[in-house]
Amino acid sequence: MKKWNEYLWIFSALYLTLGFFNILFAWIGMICFITPLLLSIIGKGKLYCNSYCGRGQLFELLGDRLKLSSNRNIPAFLRSKWFRYGFLVFFMTMFGLMIFSTYLVFNGSNNLKEVVTLLWTIQLPWNWTNTSSVSPWIAQFAFGFYSVMLTSTILGLLTMIFFKPRSWCVYCPMGTMTQGISMLKYKKEINKIR
């Protein structure tokens, strides 16, 4: 029988859908940022990636079961340390800029911009949600965070189609971070073996 955590792809699919109805649901995605980091910090390694990542399961479902993946090997440069750490730095820089623009709305320098930005360039007007019930900065973060989640899903879907289903896992910034944290935490154990 399947375990509950094997159905987490439903959570991921639902999350992406809910953002189309109300952008404020984007905040729920923080779970996917905080949980893997906390688990690796307390010494559980990549438990989140290994057992609880709904996005990974979604790519598996689409790529394997629905046969949308070409199952080709990922190009060597995409799995190189340079690319993985480089993508992490780029991703975190863009994330930092998103936090900064949230801050500018928080301190009143900028007005709320109701757009979702895909692939860091394409701006989609997203003004059908009434966000007046919350502070503008809360809504601004939701737009920014949903942009991050949607962009990474698109990249993951593209590599799922062209390469193996879970190719996203190779360069996922969260995965690179949790592996890095685990390496720092278990440095001695690795040195003992190698």
Partner 1 sequence: MKKAMVNQTECVACGVCKKVCPRQAITIFHGIYAEVNEDLCVGCRKCEKACPASVIQVVQKEVKA
Residues that bind partner 1 (CB under 8 A): 40, 43-47, 49-51, 56, 60, 71, 73-74, 79, 84, 163-170, 175-176, 178-179, 181-183, 185-186, 189-190
Cβ distance to partner 1 smaller for residue 9 or 141: 9
Cβ distance to partner 1 smaller for residue 21 or 90: 90
Min dist. Cβ of residue 28 to partner 1 (A): 23
Min dist. Cβ of residue 145 to partner 1 (A): 24
Which residue matches tokens 């949600």? 129
Cβ distance to partner 1 smaller for residue 115 or 185: 185
Nearest residue to 54 (alpha-carbon basis) of 2, 109, 97, 11: 11
Min dist. Cβ of residue 137 to partner 1 (A): 34
Please state, as a whole number, how many other Cβ atoms lie within 10 Å of the Cβ of residue 26. 24
Helix (H), strand (E) at residue 144: helix 136-162
> Would you put residue 97 in left (φ > 0), alpha (ψ -120 to 50) or beta?
alpha
Contact 173, 87 (CB under 8 A): yes
Cβ distance to partner 1 smaller for residue 29 or 56: 56
Cα(46)–Cα(48) distance, integer angstroms: 5
User: What's the one-letter identity of residue 50?
Assistant: N
Min dist. Cβ of residue 8 to partner 1 (A): 13
